[in-house]
Amino acid sequence: MREKESSITFSYLMQAAGKRSGEGIPGDNLFREIGFDHENARLGWVIPPGWKKIEEQLQRFLEIVKEKNTFIFSGMGGSINTVKALIEILGEQSENRLYAIDSLDPVALEELLSSIIDLSKTLVVGISKSGTTEETQNLLKTVREIFQSRGLSYRNHFLWLTDLPNRAKIENVSWQNVEILPIQVDEGTDIGGRFSAPHTLILLLPLLLLLDGDIIELKTVWDEYLALRERLILEAACKASELAHKNTRCFAVVLEEPLTPALRTWITQLFQESLGSKIEGFDPKTLVLTPNDIPTGFESIRFDIASSKLIIKAMLTMYLFEVFVAVFAYYKGINFVNQPEVENYKKRMREVSSERVPQPERVSLTLLIERIKRLLTGKPNIRFIEVVCYWHLRERERNQLNATLRATFPDKEILVFVGSDWNHHSYQAASKNEDTLFVILTSSDYETKIPGIKEHVLRQNIATLKTIAYATYSTLEDKAGYFELITNKKDISR
């Protein structure tokens, strides 16, 4: 019975996919309401593009990247999480070197630049669906200074991916005569950032580079992905139906070990931003785990994919969980393609950008723990503590912070995130969440000197980072704390 019901629901999703407006969708199909962001269609991800069109875009890209062997991808949220995942999975197997950057903390840029041997063979790829993403624009303008300081024309070393109707916005902010390619293979605009894998150039271009430009090998990967996808779609829809009818709100996405770290941020954004703070009383929490780590009260979701290739498993995992989210949202009546609460902190950012951002209390880790204890007083319903760090947080530092807080608060689930990730994957869900304490942290130690970049540019990036942190805190103030943690990041890195 459930299989038949799920099959019908997926057929509704297919019926709505590709439609440019809800008017072309029958009235009994709820996707005409929940698959659109206002009047903007957002279901273009459902149906894979044809290979002929893919190959045309890949060939065009290869012409642009001749004689380049190093590639820096920059974007925010769904525009960069796919690239990060691919680098984690395939980065060591390729002759090309790929890097991703989405942090305004100058230490992140300093670390990146120290890894690049020859800028003359480097291409920087900016990704922005709107063409105006502030953090991405700031980052690429900063990187551009490095090229110019070394006598390299940025026009030969920068490329943008955007929705083509927005290309003028990129050209109008000092990127004239830079190559611009579409995000979507069909040059459409109906795929949102967190649904951009595995069917857009945000995945296909870095994958081609990681396969050393071998289009034939990429087609082999694509064909196997398509064949396995057909066999597994209904399984994803059935699982979504099951958990929706159980009113599940805590999801444990179970992956095998190589995929867990690679896809953790990608999946977290897919679930939290698609389902969070959309309907009354439903506050999802999503963990991406290996099989032995599932906490009490979380429902596990796992798909067994019969492929020996990790990249195909990753692509299928992405698509199957997109289908899962869409079908789950159908049964819950959730518009899963918008993110209305995100505008709260962005609006607050615009308000405070002309003000003086308040200096948070400076705390040691010991004092931070005391402040968290105070914030928890009288709040017995708090189960999760999410610590959001607005600096370039390295894995060792994250693990140390997580372990210390777990030891102090053993009855809480501790989650530690980087701010540049968290605002894009979890702010939407945080907005109306009632069982989480959010601890917003800036750092006492930001780098302000990198050769080839004006100091005032780095200071402006730091100021923007702090503004995002404060704007985030001030919109979550009733369930959040705001502090400056005493850190020494250069010592930590060693």
Residues 6+ apart with CB under 8 A from 227: none
User: Which DSSP category does 179 fall into?
Assistant: E
What's the pLDDT tens digit per position in 455-494?
A: 999 999 999 999 999 999 999 999 999 999 998 754 433 3
What's the pLDDT tens digit per position in 135-147?
A: 999 999 999 999 9
Q: In the block, which residue shows the tokens 């080839």?
A: 452
Q: In what order do the strands lie in the sheet with 413-418?
A: 361-363, 480-485, 436-443, 384-389, 413-418
For residue 262, name the pLDDT band (cuts at 50, 70, 90): very high
pTM of this prediction? 0.95
What's the pLDDT tens digit per position in 181-197?
A: 999 999 999 999 999 99
Q: Are 49 and 186 in contact (CB under 8 A)?
A: yes
Does position 427 have pLDDT exceeding 90, yes or no? yes
Give Cα 260 distance to the centre of its chain.
15
Residues 6+ apart with CB under 8 A from 355: none
Distance CA 408, CA 403 (A): 9
Q: What is the mean pLDDT of residues 440-449?
A: 95
Position 354 scores a pLDDT of: 63
Distance CA 221, CA 422 (A): 31
Distance CA 103, CA 424 (A): 12
Q: What is the mean pLDDT of residues 101-109?
A: 95
All domains in the chain, ordered by first residue: 2-37+228-332 (no CATH), 51-213 (3.40.50.10490), 342-493 (3.40.50)
Position 438 scores a pLDDT of: 98
Position 494 scores a pLDDT of: 30
Distance CA 267, CA 282 (A): 18
Does position 8 have pLDDT exceeding 80, yes or no? yes
Coil, helix or strand at residue 28: coil
DSSP one-letter string for 85-127: HHHHHHGGG-SSEEEEE----HHHHHHHHHH-S-GGGEEEEEE
Nearest to 266 by CA among 16, 85, 36: 85
Percent of the chain with pLDDT over 90: 86
CA angle 196/465/270 to nearest 5° reads 25
CA angle 369/373/375 to nearest 5° reads 115
Does position 295 have pLDDT exceeding 80, yes or no? yes
Is beta strand 40-41 parallel, antiparallel or unpaired with respect to 36-37? antiparallel
What's the pLDDT tens digit per position in 219-255?
A: 999 999 999 999 999 999 999 999 999 999 999 999 9
